[in-house]
Structure 1
Amino acid sequence: MRVPRSVFYATRAARPSQSAAAHRLASVLRLYSTATPVRDYEAQLRGVLDKAARNVEAGVRAPEGDDPRLRLIMVAKPGAGKGTLSSRLVKKYNLNFISTGDVLRHEIGAGSELGKQVEKIVAEGGLVPDELMVELVRKELDRHVDASWILDGFPRTLSQGRMLNEVLTSEGRPLNLIVNLNVPDSVILSRIQARWVHLPSGRVYNDDFNPPKTPGVDDETGEPLSKRPDDTPEVFIKRLRSYYEATAPLLEMYAAEYPDCLHSLTGNTSDEIWPQLMAVVAPLHERADAYAAEEDAHVREEADDMRDTTEVHVGDKTAHIR
């Protein structure tokens, strides 16, 4: 049992000006590897993909539905670019973007029985149980029955994945595309160290590919940029550990039950992964229709690459999802 090798090599890409941050990151990683070792994810992923390929050769196929529309989920480490790529898909194709935040807020706002249950849990700072979350997602998907969609932030665990599969298959609309975004840990850690935010507006800058015109200040207001409280190596490592332990096992299930629908795309940037994503999406969904700009902004807010999908803000409260 060990930390993926890519984590240990995270500091190699650090620029000279980041030496202090690199030393701090290396220290955090040493503590992490000692206290909470995780399996070799890259080796496990290769095994999962080999398993999927063998199942396809043996004739195993995903459940077939009556509706040819695209039903997509992405499995990805925090910060891997899921939000950026979701936004691009929404702009390129006529897709509906469905997030856990939308689901919870809609039901609470509608004052439904499910919404009242969620509101009580949120008010008490509790954890939304899997059964309730699956029912909320099912109800939301019923409102998109005539559309192709991307489901964001759910499922996050093997239990949730199995429950969602059962619901969708029973209704004749199973998932027909599962995409894994395989981005090295070192790349994501570098993004975190290079990321700056103008907190009042939410504008995000990155020293590597989207730097501010003047270092340290917002392009539009001239106000200082800040680091988000959760943009730290410590927080990322905690979320990475959660991904390995809770979310990555979903790929094993999909390799066994949906082997012909599972695709793993590898790259260091969203620009590298985007052509690969187009290659697997285009055959399933040929209708191109851009959404309005405000819809794209909504997707970027809901599917922020760095956001913690275990927390969903509902008004001034936060819902916690397993």
Structure 2
Amino acid sequence: MLRRSVFQAVRVSRLNPAYRASSPVRQTSAAVSVLARTYSSPSPVRDYEAQLRGMLDQAARNVEAGVRAPESDDKSLRLIMVAKPGAGKGTLSSRLVKKYNLNFISTGDVLRHEIQAGSELGKAVEKIVAGGGLVPDALMVELVRKELDRHVGESWILDGFPRTLKQGRMLNDVLTSEGRPLNLVVNLNVPDSIILARIKARWVHLPSGRVYNDDFNPPKNPGVDDETGEPLSKRPDDTPEVFTKRLRSYYEATAPLLEMYATEYPDCLYSLTGNTSDEIWPQLMEVVAPLHERAGGYAAEADKHVRDEADDLRDTTEVNVGDKTAHIQ
């Protein structure tokens, strides 16, 4: 059973249907009010943490009141993971793909498949990408819907979409109308200090894309690539300044999205907290396992694909499509 604590898998759901007034989640509401009053100009981090506590508390009350996500006869797993940039979503997604028979569907896959198919949607996207424009939400939702049509009755993780409240509502409308609404929304809550430390410790061999980390995957010889002996570099956007801006954007865009799920999908929303993917993984398994017990095959090359597509250390508003970059809201 999940621990009902704000910074663990705190959602009250089908795993823990009994919600009591004495729950630690319920007790956080007073603390949130005090926190909000204490800081006249709260930092984005503190403000977001307070919002998260409030949303989880509201979700628990909604579950108690009998609010449930839309039902479906389709028992497959339909999952999105919401995560700060650098929270380890790529690592955790690849582990899920490895353990279960899941389809990993990314915005990059969606765009590339449709362009390669030469469909009318693909031609529209190709024109936008070639001109350096922004892919409209309505077009992006239609592309995602068409991709998911290829996986009816199968379990999947959708990566990189939705990112905003508007996108979330549009996607929910489409999936619900087709009888396959989301049935699991997982928020990865990793402290900002940990994310910024990861950025400082990350080095890349730019020609190959091989990534090293001083803390858990260091090069055999400091500063050089294991295979070529060539020098390692920092990606231009791997700086605390860049990631601080991305985190602010995340708070602004994601808090309303999570609030929607807490209101309309309260029995499907979980928030998992830890400093590392190894800490979060057991919590994630406790959430996923009851919904999807089908162990499936696994191809080794899928691991790199998932990690590349879900690499949230990169700017996830930009998706590589051939030699062009697609821009997503």
Q: Same fold (TM over 0.5)?
A: yes
TM-score bracket, normalised by the shorter chain, equals 0.7 to 0.9
Asked if 1:298 corresponds to 2:305, the answer is: yes
Give the whole-Å Cα distance in 2 for the aligned partners of 1:181 and 1:144.
Answer: 25
Once residues 276 and 204 of structure 2 are traced to their aligned partners in structure 1, the CA distance between those partners, rounded to angstroms, is: 20
Say yes or no: does 1:145 pair with 2:148.
Answer: no
Secondary structure in structure 2 of the residue aligned to 1:248: helix
Q: Write the mapping of 1:1-322 to structure 2, written as runs, cut at 5 A.
A: 38=44, 40-322=47-329
**2:307 and 2:83 mapped to 1: Cα distance?**
16
CA-CA distance at 1:290 after TM superposition:
3.7
Contact 2:185 2:268 in 1 (8 A): yes
**Mapped contact 1:90–1:290 kept (Cα < 8 A):** no
- Which residue identity is paired with 2:79? L
Matched residues in 1 for 2:252 and 2:50: separation? 15
Aligned to 2:152, what secondary structure does the other structure show?
coil
Alpha-carbon distance in 2 for matches of 1:305, 1:311: 11
Mapped partners of 1:169, 1:66: distance in 2: 12
Unaligned runs of 5+ residues in structure 1 are 1-34
RMSD: 1.3
Distance 1:290 1:81 in 2: 23
Work out the number of aligned pairs and report it.
288
Taking structure 2 as the reference length, what is the TM-score of the superposition? 0.86
1 CA distance for matches of 2:212 and 2:87? 16
3-state DSSP of counterpart to 1:218:
coil
Which whole-Å deviations, capped at 9, do the CAs of 1:89-140 have from their partners, x for residues lacking one? 0000000000000000111111100011101110110000100000000000
SS in 1 for 2:271: strand
Determine the C-alpha separation between the residues in 2 that align with 1:103 and 1:171: 19
Secondary structure of 2:50 counterpart: helix
Letter in 2 for 1:317: K
CA contact (8 A) 2:272 2:284 kept: yes
Give the CA deviation at 1:37.
5.5
The whole-number CA distance in structure 2 between the counterparts of 1:215 and 1:279 is 38
Q: How far, CA to CA, are the matches of 1:82 and 1:208 in structure 2?
A: 18
SS in 1 for 2:81: strand
1:197-231 deviations in Å (ceiling 9; x for gaps):
11122111111111111110111221111111110
How far, CA to CA, are the matches of 2:312 and 2:257 in structure 1? 20
In the TM superposition, what is the alpha-carbon distance from 1:36 to its structure 2 partner? 11
Identity of aligned residues (%): 88
Given that residues 90 and 96 in structure 1 are in contact (C-alpha distance below 8 angstroms), is that contact kept between their aligned partners in structure 2? Answer: yes
Which range moves more in the overlay, 299-308 or 91-100? 299-308
- Paired with 2:283 and 2:43, the residues of 1 have a C-alpha distance of 32
The one-letter code matched in structure 2 to 1:211 is P
SS of 2:71's partner is: coil
